[in-house]
Amino acid sequence: MKYWILLFLLSAYFTGTFGQTIDQSKMDKDLEVAENILSTLLKQSSSDEFMYLSRGQKVEGNYLANYGVVFSVESSGFRFYNVESKGKEFESVEMAVAGEIEPSEMVIQAFKDFLADYGNLIRQLKPSDKILLKTGGNRHSRGGVVVFSGQKKTKMTGGISAELHVSDLSSYEKGNITRDELLDKIKINEDLNSAVKEPQLEVFSSMLERLYEVDLTDTYYMSGTPDYDRLEKFGVTYYLKFYSSLIHDNDEYSLPTIDKKHVSKAERNKIVEEMYPEFLKTFKQNVLDYGHILKTLDPEEMIVFHIKLTSCEGCDMPAVIDVSMKKSVIEDYRNGDLTLDRAMTMIEVKDVSD
């Protein structure tokens, strides 16, 4: 009897400490539905001043343990038409950009409507969790664009975010607060580029790029500096894309990190699949060795790497993984409080492929 009581207490302790167990398949389903709704709301956004069309718009939701859900709105380009002339000839302005350049008011209203009316579709979230919606704001976004609408100027910001605590959403659903009161609780940031800069985040991103250039890795390589998101009181998420090979006109492959050429697709896939365990081991080691650069992170904050792996059709390896750990793991390893083997086991790897 004492054994079962102890087991129950331990279970309650670890659940409270490390977060509730999430049914990932249900969470993925909820996120898919929510992504579709948010995308629809954004496409329907309009005003008397602008008609907004998106090309290649993508909404991606991710669950982060001990934080909540983050929806990122990405787009390959936007077109804005001045429609104030009401039937007269009017000037059109077109911008094809890599980031998110949108009329702030329209996006903010769509974000607020989504949080108030559809935030409850994401089940399994704890009251302490948050729902965060964001557009641009990383270093590759274009900000400060001004579009003229008659004599009126409308500023497009470098990124917009809207954040709501799940506890506030629950209060609204229970009738404890009105919809207007709920909307007032949504935290809006209209220019993510104006946030306090943390140089270590950029340095670490550049360091990752250098570590995974062809001459320094024996497995997969990167092309370009990774983007990242800094989430207050959670930590940082880096977004990495890895490659393994080049395809040539004769349908042969080359693998530059191991200087192997004239390889068939089947041979290429076999090599790429065999590389995966070593890639993962080396990646963890690199994070432990160099992660102390992230000095501005608190020990309890998370470091997450959202990694899109090299394509490998028919291979027994994931397409997308999340690699995560607390900053304290890196500190304890560096201070000698954790052995390498123990620290490696404390780095979580999760298959998040579609």
**Cβ atoms 202, 230 nearer than 8 A:** no
Tokens of 143: 């900000």
Sequence-distant (≥ 6) Cβ neighbours of residue 245 within 8 angstroms: 253, 254, 255, 256, 263, 268, 272, 310
Report the distance separating Cα 114 and Cα 111, nearest Å: 5
What's the mean pLDDT in 231-239?
89
SS3 93: strand
Report the distance separating Cα 245 and Cα 275, nearest Å: 12
Quick: pLDDT tens for 208-230.
999 999 999 999 999 999 999 88
Sequence-distant (≥ 6) Cβ neighbours of residue 41 within 8 angstroms: 110, 113, 114
Give domain limits for the chain.
22-194, 199-351
Closest CA to 322 of 308, 310, 337, 301: 308
Quick: pLDDT tens for 268-316.
999 999 999 999 999 999 999 999 999 999 999 999 999 999 999 999 9
Question: Strands, E, within 135-192: which ranges?
Answer: 145-149, 152-156, 161-165, 187-189
Mean of all residue pLDDT scores within the chain: 81
Please give the residue that has the higher pLDDT: either 83 or 259.
259
- Model confidence at 97: pLDDT above 80: no
Percent of the chain with pLDDT over 90: 59
Q: Which helix (H) or strand (E) holds 273?
A: helix 265-290
Quick: pLDDT tens for 55-85.
445 888 988 887 899 998 875 444 444 444 4
Report the distance separating Cα 273 and Cα 45, nearest Å: 44
pLDDT of residue 179: 96
**Cβ atoms 256, 214 nearer than 8 A:** yes
